[in-house]
Structure 1
């Protein structure tokens, strides 16, 4: 390739990561070996199960669609524009391509030979981190029902592996676990575990795992005399067993341990409990693999006896979030881990309040609402919650409510000392409006949904984003049942929600410039929360409720699931999912940099590339707005 062409390509690439991390002379070394590929509209560059190429690709012009096969249909996973990197599988995996790359329009892509670029990956951690993030994003299949919400992990084979890639590495674990039959006597199982110097055994039935027995089971169920040592292990085992596939990553394993509150995972051939056992993962394996283990924070939370101790854990969580962002760990994983830890903090705060006040007079549920309920709270923002206690006899109602108001006030006071400010709108369980019986809450939701707008000051859409943090799960289920029952043939309610979702000021003005604040302490800054992120949050909630999407509160996950259940508009939903992550990352970086809530961005401090990235992330909002107008009758509240 001539020097002038190589120079022109280098000048193009230096505007985009990861090439902007390279020196000019290094870029020239790369560009002199680049191949230029012209693709006509609908031309396939590679497709599912093709053998891996010896290059990866960068879009020079046009658009490349990346698609996967789901339910016998080809479904769009991602769109790549000028400067976007794709086709990274040859870097990190040895098996064939798992997606198809096809030109959406006449396009030009640069083919960068892997053997030429690999030395710069080994020498530059920033380049490695970017490629890992891109690979993890492009290999995640949101339409895989078995793995939805997880990272689809591939074995990583790069040179000079470092701690930065531990979230993408396959996890080292015991691949020769002790396997015993369900009718094995406890004393025999203990003897086998002692002889093998291990603390656990997998219980099999018909060669499939049905449970796990550990040293803890022996201490808590045998040593105290609850069961004789002659009993069979199936009487004391932990079941059902939580199973994972062989290529599970540190990130996936950690999340499952947190979610199911278990200490061991069973590795099977296909990740289900109906296949051959291949190993066992313990908490110790994760601690060895991941020095900064979120599980450690969970344990510290459970041991905490004061708000001060909980605050120290929250400060460690901030450090973990900052480190994870710096390592380019995908935001959905950071949301998941952070959400579990924050929920544990809230739960412990309620427990400390109960220890102070005494046992509750009835069963109840503490629900986080808003960003906490969506598990999207990476920064220290205000707290939002409601408390629902079960129905009691009329003569007991006042005393029961008085107790729960006191409990809520102590809990919110603890959380305030941890660093979560009181909600300025009073959306907290300590407010007597939001602390009441199940019947009263049912009436509240009925009023909101059947006569929206009549008491508009009382309704906030955040009450439809909730997650139980403490208490009786059946109470949360009762609220969910009522909400989805009331959605049927309820055009008036969706009219209200739809108009509420469109009520925010547009992020860009007529001239496609950012709509900045015109006065006040944030004059000249861009309100990324209210003008960019919240319209996506509101839109995701609106469609999730209207399509009866239960149990998924996170905005990113909602859009991904909506793309599956409403495939006609999957491209819009996927665009919104990507936009939400990009905008959320901008906000999080701003908040971490300035120790703030990150709501206001100084556009002038952004690089040209970041300004364009931010502006491009706002584009799907118009598509979402048009879809809302098209799908719902927005008349009465317009």
Structure 2
């Protein structure tokens, strides 16, 4: 009779290295000898200084923290994620543990007998190489980072204030092994095995032109797609993403998140046009907080349902709260969360497409609007999105549109299940009004611009901040071109857009009192979004449109671009950036504190410092609105 427990363990392990390198029969045999252990939050799996267990561990569910006790300090070195190996010391050395493993939440472990895997690694060089590399990464590099932190005399708790760890300089592998693009894949694999490394930089005359990783070997060689005698050039990833040797961990991690990669090439000046000085892998970055952006992105890519994505988004909220508590730069927080949100949206679309009865009939693109389109959505606010599809003939139009409406309804439903509420105004791709062909969108934009009613201008403030989340980039670029073509054929539209941008003046009255809502559900509360954030957003948008700056949607990036166009107003735009950052952080803090969008603030709950900080931001609003009045001669329109 089949051992169902062993089979379940096998089904899990075969998806993770190095178990994917072990033959099915051998892995099933190992699974039959494993122990399944349950540990409570706070329970110690093994302790630093203890003699090694006869097992090492794979994390099935939960989270395990690896801690190093040094000079009366307990430093969190790494958070083990689902599928991670830990406690490898008894497998490779027989001395005491150098770290403690403690459950950060309820966890399930697979305890694998050392003796069983020893037999495997003696027969399987690839498995042995992976285990050795994993052990060396944890044991050596994490230790040196922890020691350097203590030597700096920083009186911080890594568990509570992990951001400072992220701001440490990167610790990379200097003088990495390189290979020429013309060498064979077999030669590259032999080199990687010889040096126990998981990647090779591909170089030409000392300059980086690509990178080859063990993932490339698994996905392109082990599958038989490309022969071993093929050239490295056929499987390398190019161009290689580079970073400066003096960069910090936070920026390195952000580069990995932004580009969806696990390795960075370190060069003399940080560009791909300078000589290679090292290589930085994801394993080189300390995982010093419970939720690592790179790990979360990996989980997104593995998600199979809205339930999986919802769990991840909950962890993103935890990460967000920790960043805010630690005082992390809001620009850094925004980019990290925006990248994860974008990945989640793309994964939701992939899931829904897999459930459709057929492939998309024509190319399409999914657009995020509003704050997500500007990459400024931190809290779980409602969704604003749209869909554009390639033009088709009249005879197929209805069937094509119905296909994308069906898809859009599925996607918005998944996003809702994740936690992004349906838009109360139904500004979603599931609404036939916002699921249009390329030509229909062009006509819609042209209509709004040439007939700028109050409703049309309102739509423009939402739809002009669109960002491609998924699909055909050329379709999205065509939409952007159409917008600017229409604006420059009817430039008076910018005056209407500028007029709308000053409808909410600086939110403080004659006696220096906050202007609050006079009626409704939020009576006597301050509307942080409408009266503080949106005036800055709207001003940046209209000014950038006037300069035909089409590549910037983010408010801060827009003001930076404006500073280059108008150096005489650089101080004003810098003050707008500072105000926007302060207000966005404040809204996020309020939302996390009250479990809502953070939009409405009860002034009696604010202390004096908070009120003074907000008032200081209002001067930037007043100044940039005065600039709009003069620039677009709005006094003539009022």
TM-score, length-normalised on structure 2? 0.73
Match of 2:216 in 1: 217
Does structure 1 retain, via aligned residues, the 8 Å contact 2:457–2:496? no
**410-419 vs 590-599, greater mean Cα deviation:** 410-419
Partners of 1:554 and 1:200 in 2: how far apart? 35
Partners of 1:636 and 1:357 in 2: how far apart? 54
Does structure 2 retain, via aligned residues, the 8 Å contact 1:292–1:320? yes
Match of 1:78 in 2: none
Match of 1:152 in 2: none
Q: Which runs of 4+ in 1 moved over 4 A?
A: 155-158, 287-291
**517-526 vs 236-245, greater mean Cα deviation:** 517-526
Does structure 2 retain, via aligned residues, the 8 Å contact 1:516–1:524? yes
Match of 1:305 in 2: 304
Does structure 2 retain, via aligned residues, the 8 Å contact 1:180–1:201? yes
| Secondary structure class of the residue paired with 2:200 | strand
Partners of 1:413 and 1:438 in 2: how far apart? 24
What is the deviation of 1:481?
Answer: 1.3
Partners of 1:222 and 1:197 in 2: how far apart? 19
Partners of 1:446 and 1:463 in 2: how far apart? 13
| Secondary structure class of the residue paired with 2:508 | coil
What is the deviation of 1:510?
Answer: 1.3
1:340 aligns with 2:339: yes
Does structure 1 retain, via aligned residues, the 8 Å contact 2:448–2:460? no
Does structure 2 retain, via aligned residues, the 8 Å contact 1:588–1:598? yes
| Secondary structure class of the residue paired with 2:245 | coil
Match of 1:624 in 2: 624
Partners of 1:159 and 1:287 in 2: how far apart? 17
| Secondary structure class of the residue paired with 1:204 | strand
Does structure 2 retain, via aligned residues, the 8 Å contact 1:379–1:588? yes
| Secondary structure class of the residue paired with 1:209 | strand
What is the deviation of 1:229?
Answer: 2.2
Partners of 2:356 and 2:246 in 1: how far apart? 47
What is the deviation of 1:227?
Answer: 2.9
Does structure 1 retain, via aligned residues, the 8 Å contact 2:291–2:316? no
What is the deviation of 1:332?
Answer: 0.5
| Deviation sequence 1:572-604 (CA, Å, 0-9, x none) | 111111001111111111110000111111222
| Deviation sequence 1:463-489 (CA, Å, 0-9, x none) | 110111111111111011112223336
**Paired residues, what number?**
485
What is the deviation of 1:217?
Answer: 1.6
| Deviation sequence 1:403-440 (CA, Å, 0-9, x none) | 11111111111111111111111211111100010110
Does structure 1 retain, via aligned residues, the 8 Å contact 2:629–2:635? no
Match of 1:87 in 2: none
Match of 1:477 in 2: 477
Taking structure 1 as reference, are residues 525 and 458 closer, same or farther at Cα in structure 2, changes over 3 Å only? closer
**170-179 vs 268-277, greater mean Cα deviation:** 170-179
Match of 1:186 in 2: 185
Partners of 2:574 and 2:287 in 1: how far apart? 36
1:282 aligns with 2:277: no
Does structure 2 retain, via aligned residues, the 8 Å contact 1:166–1:290? no
Partners of 1:225 and 1:579 in 2: how far apart? 55
Partners of 1:436 and 1:635 in 2: how far apart? 37
Does structure 1 retain, via aligned residues, the 8 Å contact 2:505–2:625? no
| Secondary structure class of the residue paired with 1:452 | coil
Does structure 2 retain, via aligned residues, the 8 Å contact 1:495–1:635? no
Partners of 2:379 and 2:308 in 1: how far apart? 19
Taking structure 1 as reference, are residues 593 and 289 closer, same or farther at Cα in structure 2, changes over 3 Å only? closer
What is the deviation of 1:505?
Answer: 5.1
Does structure 2 retain, via aligned residues, the 8 Å contact 1:250–1:289? no
Match of 1:539 in 2: 539
Partners of 2:485 and 2:286 in 1: how far apart? 45
| Secondary structure class of the residue paired with 1:459 | helix
Alignment of 1:409-424 (within 5 A): 409-424=409-424
Alignment of 1:239-638 (within 5 A): 239-286=238-285, 288=287, 292-358=291-357, 359-453=359-453, 456=456, 459-488=459-488, 490-504=490-504, 506-634=506-634, 638=638
> Which residues of structure 1 form unaligned runs of 5+?
1-122, 124-154
Partners of 2:242 and 2:290 in 1: how far apart? 24
Does structure 1 retain, via aligned residues, the 8 Å contact 2:442–2:482? yes
| Deviation sequence 1:112-140 (CA, Å, 0-9, x none) | xxxxxxxxxxx9xxxxxxxxxxxxxxxxx
Partners of 2:546 and 2:494 in 1: how far apart? 8
Partners of 2:268 and 2:511 in 1: how far apart? 56
Taking structure 1 as reference, are residues 617 and 458 closer, same or farther at Cα in structure 2, changes over 3 Å only? closer
| Secondary structure class of the residue paired with 1:386 | strand
Does structure 2 retain, via aligned residues, the 8 Å contact 1:180–1:189? yes
What is the deviation of 1:290?
Answer: 5.7
What is the deviation of 1:455?
Answer: 6.0
Partners of 1:309 and 1:192 in 2: how far apart? 38
| Deviation sequence 1:134-188 (CA, Å, 0-9, x none) | xxxxxxxxxxxxxxxxxxxxx9955346533023111222223111222222222
| Deviation sequence 1:308-362 (CA, Å, 0-9, x none) | 2211111111110000000100000100000011111111111222122232111
Partners of 1:590 and 1:201 in 2: how far apart? 47
| Deviation sequence 1:38-81 (CA, Å, 0-9, x none) | xxxxxxxxxxxxxxxxxxxxxxxxxxxxxxxxxxxxxxxxxxxx
Taking structure 1 as reference, are residues 496 and 457 closer, same or farther at Cα in structure 2, changes over 3 Å only? closer
Partners of 1:457 and 1:627 in 2: how far apart? 20
Taking structure 1 as reference, are residues 454 and 588 closer, same or farther at Cα in structure 2, changes over 3 Å only? closer
Does structure 1 retain, via aligned residues, the 8 Å contact 2:484–2:548? yes
Partners of 2:238 and 2:457 in 1: how far apart? 48
Partners of 2:407 and 2:432 in 1: how far apart? 12
Partners of 1:590 and 1:336 in 2: how far apart? 20
| Secondary structure class of the residue paired with 2:387 | strand
TM-score, length-normalised on structure 1? 0.73
Partners of 1:379 and 1:177 in 2: how far apart? 41
Partners of 1:243 and 1:574 in 2: how far apart? 29
Taking structure 1 as reference, are residues 436 and 243 closer, same or farther at Cα in structure 2, changes over 3 Å only? same
Taking structure 1 as reference, are residues 226 and 308 closer, same or farther at Cα in structure 2, changes over 3 Å only? closer
What is the deviation of 1:535?
Answer: 0.4
